[in-house]
Copies of this chain bind each other. A is one copy, B any other.
Amino acid sequence: MPRYTELVSRLPATVPFVGPEAQERARARPFKARIGANENVFGPSPLAVEAMARAAAETWRYGDPENHDLKHALAASHGIDAENVAVGEGIDGLLGYLVRMLVEPGDKVVTSLGAYPTFNFHVAGYGGLLLTVPYRDDREDVFALVEKAAESEAKIAYLANPDNPMGTVHPPESIKRAIRAVPEGCLLVLDEAYMDCAPAEFRLPLDVSDASVVRMRTFSKVYGMAGARVGYAIGHSELIRSFDKIRNHFGMSRISQAGALAALGDKAHLAETVGKIEAARTRIGEIAAANGLAAVPSAANFVAVDCGRDGDFAKRVLDGLIERDVFVRMPFVPPQNRCIRVSAGTESDLSLFERALPEALREAG
């Protein structure tokens, strides 16, 4: 038998998330509303679809390993230099690289209890020791995070803003204060996957001269291209350069590169999508209210609906929805797991949710 590393021998064969397809196979029935993975049902820009279809015939060529055109377009769109942008296989891929760059077995990493499981998967995968800070009022507790990072001498502190799974957001002033408080030798990973649909006043200006923070963005959410696997990191040039030491240089799909580039150019589609997401958030809130439930105010493309009781109850509600062919997910840990998490859907998706929710609540009660 091959001799695995000690670390890998100890790791479980696990998945951060079970995909909806796996659930459909297990149920032997497709979902009718796919509003559980915070995908953007409104879809990519038609320009991106066109660019990808065109690129399909050209897919005998490797993608450009430097991601030159996309990287430069991203840099221009953010008003920074290309040396401050690293493109990778989704934020998931970039988080993996980042953890690998910084974490050796036993190194400490701080996150919120119940935050993004894929980040935790990577930390475990490199032998890091994950320390967690509880949410406070359904928001990540940024100051407690930074404090925990200081007292534990953590190498990374992870903060999603807007947060997933709760959808809450911190204003720039709080994030700025947190960044100033990041301890020496700690990198703040600011996961802004959902920032494109947050109200404009929540957008923190970029400061790529600050080596203590890296910001993660993606085409998977508001750009509607989760399946294309394109994320990017914005940060200090030295950190960005370090990705080149270890990344899968030929890892990007050529079709995805073309699609992301085209999507980036279609600002009108992005604005339209943000409008649809806002409307869907409102609609989810109304459906919740009609059932006597509260929706957690969200700046993301999903809404955490507070089912008003404990995690077991919410799980029963979730199961009832799934049984009615409505794919949703829920937070993993208390007290957030009193909620179910519903992604912005089309009118048809949300009508199904509207019909299924009261029945699921009744059954769960």
Contact = CB atoms under 8 A, between A and B. Distances in A.
A17 B22 CA distance: 37
A21 interface: yes
B64 A22 contact: yes
Contacts of A241: 13
Interface stretch (A51-59, A74-82, A284-292): A51-59
Interface in A317-354: none
Interface string A1-32: 11111101001111111010110010000000
Interface residues of A, number: 86
A6 to B, nearest CB: 7
A365 B96 CA distance: 49
Nearest to A241: B13
A142 B2 CA distance: 19
Contact of A224 (B60, B251, B254): B60
B245 A227 contact: no
Interface string A82-119: 00000001101100100011111000000000000010
Interface stretch (A38-46, A132-140, A144-152, A274-282): A38-46
Nearest to A257: B227
Q: Which of A22, A241, A249, A253 has the most CB atoms of chain B within a 10 A radius of its CB?
A: A253
B37 A89 contact: no
A90 B13 CA distance: 21
A55 B227 contact: yes
A294 B17 CA distance: 54
A259 interface: yes
A166 interface: no
A244 interface: yes
A48 B57 CA distance: 9
Contacts of A39: 60-62
A34 interface: yes
A19 B67 CA distance: 10
Contacts of A251: 89-90, 92-93, 229
A238 B1 CA distance: 9
A185 interface: yes
A56 to B, nearest CB: 4
Given A3-B185, A244-B15, A41 B60 contact: yes
A246 B102 contact: no
A25 B101 contact: no
A225 interface: yes
A101 B4 contact: yes
A58 B212 CA distance: 37
A212 B3 CA distance: 10
Given A6-B104, A52-B56, A61-B226, 17 more contacts: A2-B102, A3-B102, A5-B102, A13-B245, A15-B65, A15-B249, A17-B250, A19-B62, A19-B64, A19-B65, A39-B60, A39-B62, A89-B248, A90-B248, A121-B249, A125-B246, A227-B253
Interface of A: 1-6, 8, 11-17, 19, 21-22, 25, 34, 37, 39-44, 48-49, 52-53, 55-66, 68, 89-90, 92-93, 96, 100-104, 118, 121, 125, 155, 185-187, 211-212, 220, 224-229, 238-239, 241-242, 244-246, 248-256, 259
